[in-house]
Structure 1
Amino acid sequence: MLDVKRALAAARAPERTHTLPLSTPWGDALAAAGDDAEVLPEHPRPTLERASYTMLNGWWDYAFVPTGRADASPLDLAGALALVSTAAPPATFAGRIRVPFSPEAPLSGVRRTLTPGELLWYRRRVSAPARGAHDRIILHVDAVDWVAAIRVNGRLAATHAGGYLPFELDVTPYLNDGTGADADGTFLIEVCVYDPSDAGMQPRGKQRLHPGGIWYTAQSGIWQSVWLEVVPAAHLTALSCRGAADGTLAVEALARVAEPLGADAALALDLAVFDAEGTRVLDARLPFDARPATAPAPSLAQLAAAMGAPALGTAPARRLRATLALDTPRLWSPAEPYLYRVEAALIAGAAPCTADGAASAHAAAEPDRVRSYAAFRTVHVERDGAGTPRFFLNGKPLLLKGVLDQGYWPDGLMTAPADAALVHDIEAARASGFNLLRKHLKVERARWYYHCDRMGMLVCQDAVQGGSAYNLWHTSRKPTVFSATWRRYRDDIPHHRVALSSDDARYQLEWTATCADMVRHLAGHPSIVAWSLFNEGMGQFDACAAAELVHTIDPTRPLDAASGWYDQHCGDVYSHHNYFRPLTAPRDRGRLKGYARERGFRAFLLSEFGGWAQPVDGHRFSDAVYGYGDFASPAAWRAAVRASLAEAEALAPHGLAGYVYTQLSDVEDEANGILTYDRRVNKLATPDDAEGAGA
């Protein structure tokens, strides 16, 4: 039965009138270190790590510039790409911004919101790293929100779309006409960004220009690390090593070949796998496909190219897909997150004879050497001995005990102020009894997944939602009151798509490409055990088609096609959000669709519940408090949280396969976290150690 009183209280978020100064210990340390402080200096990509790199985090010049458009309406992807590609850099810059913190974040030093009628410009002159005659200099940008154009020494080098995924650019052709850096050994990087936030339709997660309640401060621009690498002319751009419990190791790699080797140069990958004691347990030489690779559709790069975006500064990619086998592997699990070290070398040598029998003149090149890691584990949904659908890890049923993780920080917004801050949150979740984090409507930086991999924290990864302005009746109030609509509201009917803010075909294309790219990008992380595609009907459309696509790209992980409500009878999970009713584990009724129909059952997941609010004086972000429940004391709040967790766990014998409690930390107005927003207080800890449990 619906708790009407609490549901009505939650229907309207209190209005925020002012915010309060709040920072994390890591943000304080960064600010205290001054201008020369190292900002997130760790290698940003542990799954493809070279011996050296040059971090470009730190101070850049910035400027906010009007778009100059008479029409103030937000641009779609095609219009945004055209705008940033043709915009001229400003004559003057306003000041300095600390990259990679967005201008809206306090740690950026700017604290200014980018509006839909503006462009955000970055500029920095950097020293060119030393390189050999045929080496390439690669610029990495790990995330910029939303559409960006990159200029090198004043020339347009590339554009990028997608606010949550990394990209890279070979800048070598733009360095003094390709012969080297400028006379002083430096070159100029300029980045132009357009981001309409929730005024547009693009995937944006929880960002909103007018935040409050469950919606958070919009951010824009560069918000993850920027860095350089020197690589050989033939070099790896992606490497994924996914091990299964039977010892199978699936290896996928992408490589690019620049001159002087030529596109027809023969490529092979020398792969060696070592156990934790350093013993080599597997090695092989794996050939690349001789033909240039085309990204499996859809991809954001293909979508942008179809809209006229310049695809400059990159050579055609080559692909490798191979399967190896390891006898009796040590398996990865939360109790023993065993990782194997991987060393790989891309070998580029003489190409085969040409069609007329002449030998190729391409000479062998220095190999591109990288380090990575792999784990062996298998996750799937299966019936247990009693016939109940469960999550199985390595052939054994496992109750998922999850907590919702938004990944927001008061001083860095979506950018954690330090690598140690990421570790802190994972450790806090584990110490509180959880074995899974649901990364909510955000793609995190690569090091977060690495820490989950090495620490044994399971991850359910959300796709990032978008669409036009959300209809509160359809995304919140109707499903809260009328739970019968959860299984009866189709998302493939045109007027239903209007209600779910997903009727625009341009949004559908971009969301689909973004989701597919996310799955491919994160596929190599063993900690990720499930994908979640749509959340609470926001921007939802054709969930069954999306489930089939993701299952085709990655058949090794279960997925939740529609988290919360508006289930479409597909995927691996029957998923409920339950904040205002007694917790239950209902049977999955109805005819299943897609690949789920072939199996005949799905697991039941309580994918959100709880949300009990308990603000802590001195650790609040604003004067508004949003959450569920009203408790007389912190002790009463702790009792309610523990009772809710026990109530959920008690459903396991009755069909519950897993749960996700809301949430790990407070976020802005939401005071329903186990940790305070500044991470200084663990509210679930006992009074004696609560103040010291944060950091």
Structure 2
Amino acid sequence: MRLNTVLGLMPALLGAQSLAYEVQTPPLDTDWTYKVGTNPWPEYPRPLLQRPTWQNLNGVWKWRAAGAGEGAMPPLNETLTQDVLVPSCLESGLSGVQLLNQTYSWFARDFTVPPDWSKQDGRIILNFEAVDYEATIFINGRQAGFNRGGYWHFSVDATDYLSVNGTNKLHVFVYDPTDTPGVNIPIGKQTRTPSHIFYRSCTGLWQTVWMEWVPSTYISGVEIAAGMDGQVNMTVSVNSSAGYPESVSVSVISADGDVVASHDAPPNAPFDFVVDSPELWSPEKPTLYNITIKTGSDEVTSYTGFRTVSRGKVNGIERPLINGEFSFHFGTLDQGFWPDGLYTPPSVEAMVYDLKVLKGLGMNMLRKHIKVEPALFYRACDELGLLLIQDMPSLQASGNVKPNAAQQAEFERQFDILINQHKSYPSIYTWVVYNEGWGQLLNNGTYPEEGLTARARELDPTRLVDATSGWFDHGYGDYSDNHHYANPQCGSPFYSIQSSPWDPSRIAIQGEFGGIGHNVSIEHLWKVEQAILELNQTYELDADLDAYNYRAHRLLDELREQVEFYACSGAIWTQTTDVEGEVNGLLTYDRRILRPNEDQWKADIQALYDTAQSRNEGNMVVQKMLR
């Protein structure tokens, strides 16, 4: 079939939508696309703070386009006729709308409160896991909440706005400018004008919406840090409309169900206790402990893994240390885009599939690239034993667009949220402030990454900080991070003009390399003309899979030599999957073709670990503890 014929089959983009919900034909589907149905993401969405009394509000909602001045009052006397699937990106096929570049929108649904909730004295909390970009929440016509930032979970106490004996109307007014002129907000790789390494944007309620019943005095947040020495540092936040309790009770429970520690402490303040001789969490053995937390009539469950992240000299070279030991860290640049759902994976099963592929090839790490995932993604990394480098979603990448003072302040506010909402996941071991200068203020006498590195360490002293992944490095943070395609330049005495020379006082890491590509037949490509015309912008295109795997072997062996001869401590291969006009993934964008020769890649990755281990002979460690 000719390319222009295939592209002609695509929806007229995407203007005319079906009113009743049905999956719209995306430019490419996956094996999960048509299995999603109308009950998407039914799993409990908040693994770090679980309670039994909850109700999922995902499914088919109503939607319509809106104007800039509509956000003050919801359209109560209007019946919205267009169905939309929640959670989803409005621009995706799974949404049922698949409309691009919509700045203002109304989302609506009716819901009822379970009868047994109204019989108990308590509160009803409405939770949004993520809405891109601004969300104004109305319940029965009254404004009940507001949130700014497309990656963060937030909650609304809905109790005083609800009818507990009838139908309630929930409206969400969404404003999402993405990268329109004059706007500069954290967007990562999203754009309204996709081209090669920048992709179709995501608007709306793209993660789970749900509600829960809580007692009048209830646990609203939990922060946990557990070290290899067994010391646990926790803060349990409690909200109350009936007076605050004197204490909260914590129990730590092993995988066998044994209570290994108990502790009582005041709420809303940090406290410490010790678990004797815990089994440690590591990529090789990702042991997790359950935690039960009680106060008054409220009880929640959480979990943690005992592990310590630090840095130190091993035989004279700065290294990242997990539980006091150095091992080489290798994984992929993980974009987290899907052809059918864009930012929203079609299901938890689909999302975890990518992680299992990486783990199956022998990788022990990934870099979550300028995107934040649903909480169940981080739980899966904790369970599988995949170390995570977590990027802050970047401002615009254009060198001509720099944040003004207000935009920079908003970026820094959201950087705090990133850390505070994710610092309890054991798998995360590094925060990234800036990627390749995107949104990074330069040549103004001071560098914001200095203060942001200090801020990250203040909010979370238990992890490493990569102040600038690639390009403009001014000496801050724990890493000297090089980006180079296709060959690595990791901790070596040679470097490209777009990277700074290796700094031996910090950890040497290859923040991006590889990027070799391999074209595939049309059925596995993102069927958008511009994307297909830009395939040749891939860093390197190999004629077939034999050539692809030959080149991968050479690049991985070159990296191994830099581990052997120089100071390389970790590396990130670009990338997990193809995305739109990029064909340099281990997997195609539809996840139907795995390019690597699995035996070869496993051997090459193991050689990296073995070579790093050989550098540990004598194991003379001078450790700088972060805790």
Instruction: Return the offset for 1:681.
Output: 1.4
| C-alpha separation in 1, matches of 2:127 and 2:417 | 17
| 1:110 lines up with 2:97 in the alignment | yes
Offset of residue 686 of structure 1: 5.8
The one-letter amino acid of 1:547's match is: T
Q: Does 1:169 align with 2:152?
A: no
Q: What is the aligned partner in structure 1 of residue 589 from structure 2? A: 677
**Deviation at residue 17 of structure 1 after TM alignment:** 7.9
Q: Residue 121 of structure 1 corresponds to which residue in structure 2? A: 106
1:628 counterpart residue number: 539
Q: Which amino acid aligns with 2:440?
A: Q
For 2:410, which of 507, 510, 519 is the aligned residue? 510
Alpha-carbon separation, structure 2, partners of 1:636 and 1:671: 15
Cα separation, partners in 2 of 1:267 and 1:90, compared to 1, 3 Å: farther
Measured at CA, do residues 447 and 581 of structure 1 come closer, stay the same or move farther in structure 2, by a change above 3 Å? closer
Question: In 2, distance between residues paired with 1:456 and 1:588?
Answer: 33
Deviation at 1:62, TM superposition (A): 0.3
Any idea what the Cα deviations from partners look like across 1:196-219, whole Å, max 9, x if unmatched? 111121101100001010000011
Give 1:512's aligned amino acid: E
Offset at residue 581 of structure 1 (A): 5.5
Counterpart of 1:45 in structure 2 is: 46
Instruction: Identify the residue that residue 440 of structure 1 maps to in structure 2.
Output: 369
Query: What are the superposed Cα offsets for residues 582-604 of structure 1, whole Å, 9 maximum, x if unpaired?
Result: 63423699xxxxxxx9xx92101
Q: Secondary structure at the match of 1:519?
A: helix
Whole-angstrom distance in 1 between the partners of 2:598 and 2:469: 33
1:11-50 deviations in Å (ceiling 9; x for gaps): xxxxx988774111122212xx4xxx42110110111011
The Cα offsets for residues 594-648 of structure 1, whole Å up to 9 and x where unpaired, read as xxx9xx9210111001111112212111323141212221110122123222222
The residue aligned with 1:482 is: none
Q: Per-residue deviation at 1:568?
A: 1.3
Distance 1:681 1:52 in 2: 41
One-letter amino acid of the counterpart of residue 59, structure 2: G
Task: Sort the Cα spacing of 1:323 and 1:96 in 2 relative to 1 into closer, same or farther, 3 A.
Answer: same
Distance 1:582 1:434 in 2: 17
Q: Which amino acid aligns with 2:378?
A: Y
Paired residue secondary structure (1:613): strand
Among residues 294, 298, 304, which one is paired with 1:374 in the alignment? Answer: 304
Q: One-letter code of the match for 1:634?
A: L
1:647 and 2:561 are equivalent in the alignment: no
Query: Aligned residue for 1:585?
Result: 491
Q: What is aligned with 2:451?
A: 545
Which amino acid in structure 1 is aligned with residue 293 of structure 2? A
Per-residue CA deviations over 1:334-361 (Å, capped at 9, x if unaligned) read 11000011111123xxxxxxxxxxxxxx
Give, as a single letter, the amino acid of the residue that structure 1 aligns with 2:44.
Answer: H
After TM superposition, give the deviation of residue 512 of structure 1 in Å: 0.3
- Decide whether the 8 Å contact of 2:101 with 2:192 is kept in 1: no
Work out the CA distance in 2 between the residues paired with 1:587 and 1:52. Answer: 58
Residue of structure 1 in register with 2:283 after alignment: 334
TM-score by length of 2: 0.85
Q: What SS does the corresponding residue of 1:651 show, helix, strand or coil?
A: helix
Instruction: Check 1:582–1:222 CA distance in 2 against 1; reply closer, same or farther (3 A cut).
Output: closer
| Equivalent residue in structure 1 for 2:378, among 435, 438, 449 | 449
Long gaps (5+) in structure 2: 1-5, 11-25, 442-447, 496-502, 601-627
| Distance in 2 between residues matched to 1:631 and 1:266, nearest whole Å | 64
- Report the AA paired with residue 24 of structure 1: T
Q: Give the distance between the partners of 1:582 and 1:102, measured in 2 at CA.
A: 36
Matched residues in 1 for 2:308 and 2:488: separation? 33
* Distance across 1 between alignment mates of 2:385 and 2:28: 31
Aligned to 1:10: none
User: How far off its partner does 1:115 sit?
Assistant: 3.1
Cα displacement string for residues 325-382 of structure 1 (whole angstroms, at most 9, x for unaligned residues): 11111100011000011111123xxxxxxxxxxxxxxxxxxx2111111110011121
Q: Which amino acid aligns with 1:198?
A: D
2:573 is aligned, of 644, 661, 668, to: 661
Cα distance in 2 for residues equivalent to 1:616 and 1:377: 42
Partner of 1:11: none
Q: Tell me the equivalent position of 1:308.
A: none
**CA distance, structure 2, for counterparts of residue 458 and residue 584 of structure 1:** 19
Report the CA distance between 1:439 and its aligned residue.
0.4
Task: Give the Cα separation in 1 of the matches to 2:35 and 2:556.
Answer: 35
- In the alignment, structure 1 residue 470 sits paired with structure 2 residue 398: yes
Match of 2:609?
none
Residue 693 of structure 1 aligns with which residue?
none
Match of 2:603 in 1: none
Shift of 1:387: 0.4
Which runs of structure 2 are paired with 1:468-617 in the superposition (5 Å)?
470-471=398-399, 499=400, 501-541=401-441, 542-579=448-485, 583-586=489-492, 601-617=505-521
Give the partner amino acid of 2:224.
Answer: C
Report if aligned partners of 1:574, 1:588 keep a CA contact under 8 Å in 2: no
Looking at structure 2, the residues matched to 283 and 270 of structure 1 have their Cα atoms a distance apart, in angstroms, of: 7
- 1:388 and 1:651 map into 2 onto residues whose CA distance is 13
In the alignment, structure 1 residue 287 sits paired with structure 2 residue 270: no
- How has the CA–CA distance of structure 1 residues 147 and 630 changed in structure 2, closer, same or farther, with 3 Å as cutoff? same
The match for 1:246 among 229, 251, 267 is 229
User: Following the alignment from structure 1 to structure 2, what is the Cα–Cα distance between the partners of residues 90 and 601?
Assistant: 65
The residue aligned with 1:28 is 34
- Rounded to whole Å, the distance in 1 between the matches of 2:489 and 2:526 is 31
> Alpha-carbon deviations, 1:250-307, whole Å to 9, x = none?
112212112xx14xx334211101111111100011112xxxxxxxxxxxxxxxxxxx
1:88 to partner: Cα distance:
5.6
CA shift at 1:87, angstroms? Answer: 6.6
- Aligned partners of 1:89 and 1:121 also within 8 Å: no
Aligned alpha-carbon RMSD (Å): 2.2
Q: Deviations over 1:519-550 (max 9, x none)?
A: 01001100001111100101013111111111
Deviations 1:553-579 (A, max 9, x none): 111111110011100101000111011
Residues 89/550 of structure 1: CA separation in 2 closer, same or farther (3 Å cut)? farther
Where does the alignment leave 5 or more consecutive residues of structure 1 unmatched? 1-15, 69-82, 289-318, 348-366, 472-498, 590-596, 689-695
3-state secondary structure, aligned to 1:192: strand
CA separation of 1:374/1:214 partners in 2, compared to 1, >3 Å: closer, same or farther? same
1:619 aligned partner, one-letter code: H
Q: Is the 8 A contact 1:588 1:604 kept in 2?
A: no
Confirm whether residue 197 of structure 1 aligns to residue 103 of structure 2: no
Give me the identity figure in percent: 34
* Aligned pairs for 1:341-360 within 5 A: 341-347=290-296
2:65 equivalent in structure 1: 64
- What is the letter of the counterpart of residue 195 of structure 2? G
1:531 alignment partner AA: W
State whether residues 575 and 604 of structure 1, in contact with CA within 8 Å, keep that contact through their aligned partners in structure 2.
Answer: yes
Q: Does structure 2 conserve the Cα–Cα contact (< 8 Å) formed by 1:64 and 1:114?
A: no
> Could you tell me how far apart the structure 2 residues matched to 1:532 and 1:645 are?
24
Aligned counterpart, 2:607:
none
Checking the alignment, whether the CA contact within 8 Å between 1:65 and 1:90 is kept in structure 2 is no
- Structure 1 pair 87–231 and aligned structure 2 pair: CA distance change class (3 A): closer
Say if 1:257 and 1:406 are closer, same or farther in 2 by CA, change over 3 A.
same
TM-score normalised by length of structure 1: 0.77
Given the alignment of the two structures, is residue 268 of structure 1 paired with residue 247 of structure 2, yes or no?
A: yes
* Aligned position for 2:239: 256
Which consecutive aligned stretches of 4+ in structure 1 deviate over 6 angstroms post-superposition?
Answer: 16-20
* Post-superposition offset of 1:237: 1.5
Alignment partner of 1:149 is 2:136:
yes
